[in-house]
Amino acid sequence: MAWEFLTVYWREMIRFVRFRTQLFSSLLQPALWMAFFGVAMSANFNRFTATIPVPPGTIPVDYLTFMAAGMIAMTSLFTSLFGGMSLLFDKNWGLMREMLASPMPRTHIMLGVSLSGITKSFIQVVIIMAFGLILGVEFFPGYSPARIAVSILGILTFVGVFSLGFLLFSSNISMRLESPEGLQGIITLLTMPLFFVSNALYPIQAFPPFLQTLSAYNPLTHLVNGIRYFALGSEFFAVGAEYSYTPADILLSFSYLLVFAAVMYILARQAFQRAVVT
Contact of 272 with 110, CB cutoff 8 Å: yes
Task: Name which of 20 and 192 has its Cβ closer to another protein.
Answer: 20
Task: Name which of 16 and 196 has its Cβ closer to another protein.
Answer: 16
Residue 266, interface with another protein (CB under 8 A)?
Answer: no
- Choosing from 57, 103, 209, 247, the residue that interacts with another protein (CB under 8 A) is 103
Q: Residue 73, CB half-sphere, CA atoms under 13 Å: how many?
A: 27
Strand partners, 106: none
Distance in Å, CB of 175 to another protein, minimum? 14
Compute the distance between CA of residue 83 and CA of residue 117 in angstroms, rounded to an integer.
Answer: 6
Compute the distance between CA of residue 265 and CA of residue 214 in angstroms, rounded to an integer.
Answer: 23
Distance in Å, CB of 174 to another protein, minimum? 16
Strand partners, 60: 237
Q: Residue 173, CB half-sphere, CA atoms under 13 Å: how many?
A: 21
> Residue 171: what residue type?
S
Q: Residue 206 has what DSSP assignment?
A: G
Task: Name which of 51 and 278 has its Cβ closer to another protein.
Answer: 278
Residue list 16-45, contact with another protein (CB under 8 A): 18-19
- The site that binds another protein (CB under 8 A) totals a number of residues, namely 24
Element (H, E) at 226: helix 219-232
Scanning 15-23, 47-55, 165-173, 250-258 for contacts with another protein by CB under 8 A, the matching segment is 15-23
Q: What are phi and psi of 248, to 5 degrees?
A: -65, -40
Scanning 5-13, 161-169, 172-180, 218-226 for contacts with another protein by CB under 8 A, the matching segment is 5-13
- Choosing from 13, 15, 138, 196, the residue that interacts with another protein (CB under 8 A) is 15
Residue 248, interface with another protein (CB under 8 A)?
Answer: no
Scanning 2-10, 56-64, 210-218, 254-262 for contacts with another protein by CB under 8 A, the matching segment is 2-10
Scanning 25-33, 97-105, 179-187, 249-257 for contacts with another protein by CB under 8 A, the matching segment is 97-105
What order do you get walking across the sheet with 241-244 strand by strand?
59-60, 235-238, 241-244
Distance in Å, CB of 102 to another protein, minimum? 4
Element (H, E) at 207: none
Q: Is 184 exposed, middle or buried (0-12, 13-18, 19+ CB in 10 A)?
A: middle
Residue 94, interface with another protein (CB under 8 A)?
Answer: yes
> 33: helix, coil or strand?
helix
Scanning 14-22, 25-33, 178-186, 243-251 for contacts with another protein by CB under 8 A, the matching segment is 14-22
The site for another protein (CB under 8 A) is made up of 1, 4, 6-7, 10-11, 14-15, 18-19, 93-95, 97-104, 276-278
